[in-house]
Amino acid sequence: MALTKSQEEIEKMRRGGHLLSRALKAAVDAVAPGVSLRELDTIAERVIVEGGGEPSFKGYRSKPSDVPFPSTLCVSVNEEIVHGLGNRERPLKKGDIVGLDIGCWFEGLCTDMAVTVPVGEVSDDAKKLIQVTKDSLMAGVRAARIGGEIKDISTAVEAYVKPYGYGIVRALVGHGVGHAVHEDPHVPNYVSDRYPKVVIEEGMCLALEPMLGMGGDYHVETAKDGWSIVMADGSLGGHFEVTIAVTKKGTEILTPLPV
């Protein structure tokens, strides 16, 4: 599987990414107290399908023996950091924060993105977590350039987050994307020698996705449903993600954030 994409493939991913952004915006616009996670999922799926795409998370298995993921959206509430099931009837409550993670296939290529948004009025601490998570993502985007290293992205995210004392989730990282939902290379949000040196090449398409825990701990656990990942200390979690293409003209966000 090629780590880089051709100009033609990037153009397809750009079209798919804009469709994905529209689907996510529709879900974000529907977030309100009393709205169920399933309702958000239905809204997002409708936009993708009507736009000629196919949800990439629904039916996803990391290995053949896994139970397939049941929804188009990953909907993660409060201490759920990622992979929350979007088919739940659980209603959102005022003061919650909710992470919406979504991916789609379009013209044979895949894009991926996520946001965390408030449900009605939330605490100042929750607002700050959301903003810092988003800003750390953009710091990572700015660090991606041809001839640099994946480590530069990791360094930028970690350096941005450090003054705030949030925990940077280590068990889950960003990744390559395009020909598959998850491709090499791994893109961690912290600096570690456990990951090999990878030079960023023209045409690389990467899903950058910082995941932060308000409590300062980075440990996570898997919930009883087998999919939802929660902060082990029970603190609020923030998650933002975009798919980028690294080109001679600079780094392009293929999945514009709707918030």
Task: In whole angstroms, give the CA distance from residue 43 to residue 188.
Answer: 31
CATH number, position 46? 3.90.230.10
Q: Mind listing the pLDDT tens digit for each residue in 143-201?
A: 999 999 999 999 999 999 999 999 999 999 999 999 999 999 999 999 999 999 999 99
2 in a structural domain: no
Q: Is the pLDDT of residue 50 over 70?
A: yes
259 in a structural domain: no
258 in a structural domain: no
What pLDDT is attached to residue 1? Answer: 56
**Confidence grade of residue 66 (pLDDT, cut at 50, 70, 90):** confident
The closest alpha carbon to 28, from 119, 130, 139, belongs to: 119
Kind of pairing, strands 97-106 and 167-168? unpaired
What pLDDT is attached to residue 67? Answer: 84
The mean pLDDT value for 244-252 works out to: 96
Domain that holds residue 39: 7-253
The closest alpha carbon to 244, from 105, 141, 150, belongs to: 141
The mean pLDDT value for 202-208 works out to: 98
Asked if 188 and 174 count as a contact pair (C-beta separation under 8 A), the reply is yes
Helix (H, G, I), strand (E, B) or coil at 45: helix
227 in a structural domain: yes
102 in a structural domain: yes
Q: Is the pLDDT of residue 61 over 60?
A: yes
As for how many domains the chain has, the answer is 1
